[in-house]
C-alpha cells in the first residue's frame, strides 16, 4: 500500500512508485479498475502504475472548438442523430458505464438522482437499473440530445429538462446523488459546475463525475487541446476538493480491449466521486461566469473551428478502431 502527502496539485510527493511526478504527469498505463483515493492531506491507492508519460501544462481556458456552450449546442444538433451509434461504441460502452457508476453507490431505488449533461440518456439507462426512473432527473442544454432520451422506454418516467450545468435549476440540498458523464469537457468553467454539484446535494450525498483524461501521446494531445477540455487527474481532484467535497476518489476506466493503455486519452477516462460533508452551498466563492451565452457567435470563426473540430472528432473516432485492431493482432499479455 503506497501513501503520500498531497498539498494542492502543484506539489505532489509520492512513496511507492505510484506513477505520477508532480503535476505535469499522467500515467499512460494502469489497470482499468484502479482506484486512487484522496483526502485533503493524504493519498492512498490500491493500484500501482509503474509507467508514466509526461504531458506539458496547458491552461484550462485555452480555446477549443466545443468547450463553450453555444458551439456545443450547435455541434450536438447534428451529432445527436448518430451519437449513440458512433461515439458510445468506441469510448463509452455499457460495461464502462456500469463500472464508472459503481462508486456512486446507487444502492436504493428511492434515491433522488440528477443526471447533469445526460444527453441521449445513455448513462441514465445505467442509473435506472438501480434507482426508480421517477426519482431521476435528466438535465442537458441540448433539446436535440434530450429528444433521444425521451424515446427510450426505460426513461419514460424520468423528469427531462433543459438546463445549464454551471447554473442548475435545483434547490440547495436537493439530491442524494449527482451524476455527470461526458459533460465536463464542454464546461467553460469546470470548477463552477462542480461547485454546483456540491450545492444541490444533500448532506452525505455523493457526486459522481465521469469524463476524459488529458492524453500524453503528442498527436492525441494536439487534437484534444483544439477540440474540447481533457482535464488531468490532478485537476479533477483539485476541483472537487476546492468545492468542499470529502472522501474524494478517482477510478480509472476504459474499454477492456485498451489493455490499460491511456496515452491516447479516452473520451471517458475516469470516474471521480466525492461526499458532501455539510449542508448548504459550497464554501468556495467564485466570480461571474466565464462565458456570456447571449453573445452572438462569429460565423467565420465558428465555421473555422467547426472544420478543425470535425477533424479532431474524426481522429478520436479512429483511435478506438486502431486500438481494437492492435488488440486483435498483438498476443495477449503483451503491451499495446
List, for residues 62-110, the tens digit of each pLDDT value.
555 555 666 665 665 555 455 555 565 656 788 999 999 999 999 999 9
The pLDDT tens digits of the residues spanning 240-268 come to 999 999 999 999 998 888 887 888 887 77
* 8-state DSSP, 331: P
pLDDT band at 13 (very low <50, low <70, confident <90, very high): very low
Q: Please report the pLDDT score of residue 313 as a whole number.
A: 79
Q: Please report the pLDDT score of residue 219 as a whole number.
A: 92
Contact residues for 181 (Cβ-Cβ < 8 A; gap 6+): 92, 97, 100, 115, 117, 118, 122, 123, 209, 210, 211, 268
SS3 182: coil
* Cα–Cα dist 146/144, whole Å: 6
Asked whether residue 180 is domain-assigned, the answer is yes
Give yes or no for residue 31 having a pLDDT over 80: no
Q: Please report the pLDDT score of residue 47 as a whole number.
A: 35
Of 103, 7, 3, 6, residue with least CA distance to 44: 3
Of 171, 144, 175, residue with least CA distance to 73: 144
Work out the average pLDDT over 192-204: 97
Q: Please report the pLDDT score of residue 2 as a whole number.
A: 32
Give yes or no for residue 25 having a pLDDT over 60: no
Q: What pTM does this model have?
A: 0.78
Alpha-helical (H) ranges within 131-252 are 143-150, 190-200, 218-227, 233-243
> Residue 317 burial (CB < 10 Å; 0-12/13-18/19+)?
middle
SS3 25: strand
Q: Please report the pLDDT score of residue 159 as a whole number.
A: 98
Q: Which three cell numbers, joined as nine digits, stand for 30?
A: 494502469
Give yes or no for residue 302 having a pLDDT over 80: no
Asked whether residue 52 is domain-assigned, the answer is yes
Q: Which three cell numbers, joined as nine digits, stand for 149?
A: 432520451
Asked whether residue 287 is domain-assigned, the answer is no
77 alpha carbon, distance to own chain's centre = 21
Q: Please report the pLDDT score of residue 311 as a whole number.
A: 86
Cα-Cα end-to-end distance for the chain: 27
Pairing of strands 136-140, 159-162: parallel
Asked whether residue 126 is domain-assigned, the answer is yes
Q: In whole numbers, what is the pLDDT of the chain averaged over residues?
A: 78
Q: Please report the pLDDT score of residue 323 as a whole number.
A: 87
Give yes or no for residue 298 having a pLDDT over 60: yes
Q: Which three cell numbers, joined as nine digits, stand for 295?
A: 453573445
Return phi, psi of residue 308, to 5°: -65, -45
Asked whether residue 286 is domain-assigned, the answer is no
E strand map for 131-200:
136-140, 159-162, 175-181
pLDDT band at 161 (very low <50, low <70, confident <90, very high): very high
Which carries the bigger pLDDT value, residue 130 or residue 226? Answer: 130
* Domain interval for residue 121: 1-281+292-336
Give yes or no for residue 303 having a pLDDT over 80: no
What are 253's strand-pairing partners? none
> Residue 198 in contact with residue 168, Cβ under 8 Å?
no
Q: Please report the pLDDT score of residue 335 as a whole number.
A: 79
The enclosing domain of 40 has a CATH number of: 3.40.50.150
Q: How many domains does the chain have?
A: 1
Q: Please report the pLDDT score of residue 131 as a whole number.
A: 98
Sign of torsion over alpha carbons 117, 128, 174, 283: negative
Asked whether residue 298 is domain-assigned, the answer is yes
Of 213, 263, 254, residue with least CA distance to 234: 213
249-281 residues labelled b (16+ CB within 10 A) or e (exposed): bbbbbbbeebbbbbbbbbbbbbbbbbbbeeeee
Amino acid at each position: 500500500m503506497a501513501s503520500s502527502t498531497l498539498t494542492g496539485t502543484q506539489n505532489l510527493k509520492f512513496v511507492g512508485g505510484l506513477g505520477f511526478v508532480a503535476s505535469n504527469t499522467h500515467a499512460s498505463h494502469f489497470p482499468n479498475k484502479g482506484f486512487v483515493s484522496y483526502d485533503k492531506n493524504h493519498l492512498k491507492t490500491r493500484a500501482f502504475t509503474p509507467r508514466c508519460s509526461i504531458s506539458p501544462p496547458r491552461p484550462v481556458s485555452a480555446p477549443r472548438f466545443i468547450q463553450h456552450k453555444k458551439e456545443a449546442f450547435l455541434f450536438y444538433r447534428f451529432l445527436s442523430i448518430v451519437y449513440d451509434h458512433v461515439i458510445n461504441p468506441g469510448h463509452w460502452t455499457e460495461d464502462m458505464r456500469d463500472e464508472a457508476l459503481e462508486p456512486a453507490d446507487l444502492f436504493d431505488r428511492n434515491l433522488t438522482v440528477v443526471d447533469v449533461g445526460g444527453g441521449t440518456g445513455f448513462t441514465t439507462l445505467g442509473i435506472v437499473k438501480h434507482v426508480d426512473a421517477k426519482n431521476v432527473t435528466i438535465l442537458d442544454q441540448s433539446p436535440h440530445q434530450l429528444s433521444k432520451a425521451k424515446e427510450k422506454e426505460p426513461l419514460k418516467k424520468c423528469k427531462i429538462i433543459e438546463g445549464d450545468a454551471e447554473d442548475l435549476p435545483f434547490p440547495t440540498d436537493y439530491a442524494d446523488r449527482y451524476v455527470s458523464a461526458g459533460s465536463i469537457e464542454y464546461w467553460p468553467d469546470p470548477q463552477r459546475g462542480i461547485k454546483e454539484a456540491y450545492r444541490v446535494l444533500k448532506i452525505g450525498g455523493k457526486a459522481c463525475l465521469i469524463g476524459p483524461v488529458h492524453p500524453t501521446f503528442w498527436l492525441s494531445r494536439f487534437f484534444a487541446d483544439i477540440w474540447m477540455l481533457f482535464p488531468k487527474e490532478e485537476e479533477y481532484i483539485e476541483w472537487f476538493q476546492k468545492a468542499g467535497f470529502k472522501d474524494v476518489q478517482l477510478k480509472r476506466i476504459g474499454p477492456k480491449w485498451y489493455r490499460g493503455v491511456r496515452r491516447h486519452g479516452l473520451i471517458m477516462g475516469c470516474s471521480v466521486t466525492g461526499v458532501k460533508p455539510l449542508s448548504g452551498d459550497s464554501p468556495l466563492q467564485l466570480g461571474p461566469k466565464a462565458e456570456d451565452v447571449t453573445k452572438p457567435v462569429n460565423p467565420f470563426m465558428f465555421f473555422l473551428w467547426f472544420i478543425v473540430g470535425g477533424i479532431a472528432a474524426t481522429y478520436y473516432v479512429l483511435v478506438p478502431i486502431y486500438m481494437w485492431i492492435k488488440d486483435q493482432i498483438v498476443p495477449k499479455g503483451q503491451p499495446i
